[in-house]
Amino acid sequence: MSFVIDRIFGTISAVGAYAIGGVRAALELWMVFVGTIAGIWRMYGRRGARRPAGALVEQMHIIGNRSLLFIVVTIGFIGMVMIYQACLQFSRAVGDLSQVGVQFLRLIVSDLGPTLTAMMLSTRVGAGIAAEIGSMKVTEQVDALRMSGVLPVDYLLVPRFLASIVMTLGLSILGCAIMYGAGGLTAWLSFEVNPRVFFDVSMVRPRHLILGLMKALAYGAAIPIVSGFCGLRARGSSEGVGWATTAAVVGSSFAVISIDFLLSVGALWLLGGDL
Amino acid sequence: MLGENAITNIGSRAVAVSRELGGITILFAQILRALVPPRLDTRELVKNLHKMGNRSVPIVALTAFFTGGLMVVQAAPFVQRLQATSLAGWAAGYAVLREVGPILIALMFSGRVGANNTAELGTMTVTEQLDGLRALAIDPIRYLIVPRVVSMMVMLVCLTVIGDLIALLGAMLVAKAVLDIEFGIMYASFVENLAPEDFLHGVYKSLAFGLSIAVTSCYFGVTVRGGAVGVGRAVNAAVVAAAVSVMLLDFFLTYLNV
């Protein structure tokens, strides 16, 4: 009997510990976000603030330019696959492929382009940020920063945050273009859809562009915050860095998917069938 | 001067990529060789199956649920405009089973399990535990890597099957909440429009994804150099390589099958 009771209490306390850990992590994540926003003001809003020279440009280079080839390759291939599957289904079900390009563009601009680009960026950029900050944390460089009177969030996260927002926007636009181009090429070569019919932009309206850009902005903000938070939580030695990097990839990918879901449902709720 | 620099840069990048591709191929050959008399360390295998599979179910289930819901949300404008409720199940189910489900689950798996595996093997490499095994005349490939590769392949397939089911359930729930389509109509639409091939297409893709994630993550794990910083860099390289290989495999497998 006491065995059963112990078991039940054990389960309850495990669930409770899990919940407390989750709430504490969420609060900490929120504090990192608020700290970063405040840090932007401290670093760039005031005159005479001490800024690390060239940090923003360096981060933009690392996050944006270094991801260029990766994004082009992965997004290009996934664009080809998507349009291949779509053409296959349309030719079976409807038999008319003239609508594929128009609908595909609407889908790319308002969802697939920014989301898939951000999924790819959250593996590359998220892992990179967490690995870098996590290594600094376990080698006590973060504590050294704090000792010199510099807030680690200001020094480490603010440049990454700003650079990631700018570069995610840029790379999302590029991703859309590449996906659309690769899709058009596939439709032309494999299904003989005339490129003039495929590249028809008449269905895209400003609301689709705005929705896509809003998503890209939210992803760009979420990825460095989540991964920076995971990096700052790294403990131990090399194993801790590995854990932090794993958590950053999973956390930022999941953040991308859930933001996508929330914004898509919100837009559908606001606009209904007009979307 | 600038041109020369750029050419040197491209050349050294190309050499680095080819070296890594070669290393991955050699590791793959060694794994196949180690499988020839199929002696698996059962305890290590079961441990890995549990750690990689069972522990990943929550994150995979959440991802799959949102994915299924998203596909319905994307199809919703048409469905509302055309009043064609049976289209929702077709579009969502087809996209989930064939493409989006396996890819997103594989990316999540690579983030959670692949990256973790690289970190673990990397830590063992950095702390010279692999050399320790070799000194005890235990083949690290047979003892450490083969069970991991086998369990990643098995578990990614299982997780994809579970994830497909949850994604379809998510699609039904979101269709009810957003479009007010009854569960029965969605179910009938799935049954009518989806064939077993659609499901199997996703499943055999996930087998290939599992293999590529496993081999790349093990490779980057055992070739780590340089302490904590090196482990971080290796994990980064492993997730990037896994993502690229998933996309490339997806492309080729889609073309081959039809």
Using a CB-CB distance cutoff of 8 angstroms, which residues of chain B are in contact with residue A103?
Answer: 78
The label of the residue with tokens 């003001």 reads A41
For B173-210, how does the pLDDT look when each residue is reduced to its tens digit (9 = 90+)? 998 888 888 888 888 888 888 888 888 988 989 999 99
From first to last of its 275 residues, chain A has per-residue pLDDT tens of: 678 888 888 888 888 888 898 899 889 989 989 998 888 888 877 776 667 778 888 889 888 888 898 999 999 999 998 888 888 887 877 777 777 888 888 888 888 899 999 999 998 899 889 988 998 898 889 999 899 888 888 888 999 999 999 999 999 999 999 999 999 898 888 888 888 888 888 878 888 899 999 999 999 999 999 999 999 988 887 778 888 888 898 999 999 999 999 999 888 888 766 66
Q: Which pLDDT does position A199 carry in this prediction?
A: 84
Q: What is the CA radius of gyration of chain B?
A: 21
- From the list A207, A212, A227, A115, the residue with the least C-alpha distance to A163 is A227
- Residue B258 pLDDT exceeds 70: no
Amino acid identity of A24? R
C-beta separation of A260 from A215 below 8 A: yes
Domain ranges of chain A: 55-274
* Token pair 């090399």: residue: A238
Alpha-carbon separation of residue A48 from A51, A162, B35 (angstroms): 9, 19, 65
Letter for the amino acid at B232?
G
Instruction: Compute the count of residue pairs across chains A and B with CB atoms less than 8 Å apart.
Output: 169
Tokens representing A124 are: 């590359």
Give the residue from B10, B107, B109, B224 with the most A CB atoms within 10 Å of its CB, the best one to mutate: B107
Asked if residue B1 has pLDDT above 60, the reply is: no
**Of A123, A135, A260, which to mutate for an interface test with B (greatest number of B Cβ within 10 Å)?**
A123
- Tell me the pLDDT tens digit for each residue of B234-257: 888 898 899 999 999 999 988 887
Backbone phi and psi for residue B138, each to the nearest 5 degrees, phi listed first: -105, 130
pLDDT of res. B123 = 87
pLDDT per position as a tens digit, B20-60: 999 999 999 999 988 888 777 888 889 889 888 888 898 89
Q: Which residues of B touch A242 (CB under 8 A)?
A: 115-116, 118-120, 122-123, 231-232, 235
Q: How far is B136 from chain A (nearest CA, A)?
A: 24
**Chain B: residue nearest A127 by CA?**
B236
pLDDT for res A229: 93
Nearest Cβ partner for B123 among A139, A242, A257: A242
Return the SS3 of B38. Answer: coil
Q: Do B111 and A246 touch (CB under 8 A)?
A: yes
Residues 139-168 of A with CB under 8 A from B: 139
Phi and psi at A192, nearest 5°, equal: 55, 45
Which residue in the block uniquely carries the two structure tokens 């290796």? Answer: B234
Distances (CA, A) of A180 to A186, A195, A210, B23: 10, 11, 18, 34
pLDDT reported for residue A111: 87
User: In A, residues 247-266, which contact B (CB 8 Å cutoff)?
Assistant: 249-250, 253-254, 257-258, 260-261, 264-265
Length of chain A: 275
Of A98 and B140, the one with more pLDDT: B140
Distance from CA of A244 to the nearest CA of B (A): 9
Q: Which amino acid, one-letter code, is at A132?
A: E
ipTM of the complex: 0.85
Q: Which of B113, B220, B225, B244 to mutate to test the interface with A (most CBs of A within 10 A)?
A: B244
**Residue of chain A nearest B117, judged by CA positions:** A242
Q: How confident is the model over B74-125, as pLDDT tens digits?
A: 888 777 777 777 778 888 888 888 888 999 999 999 988 998 899 889 888 8
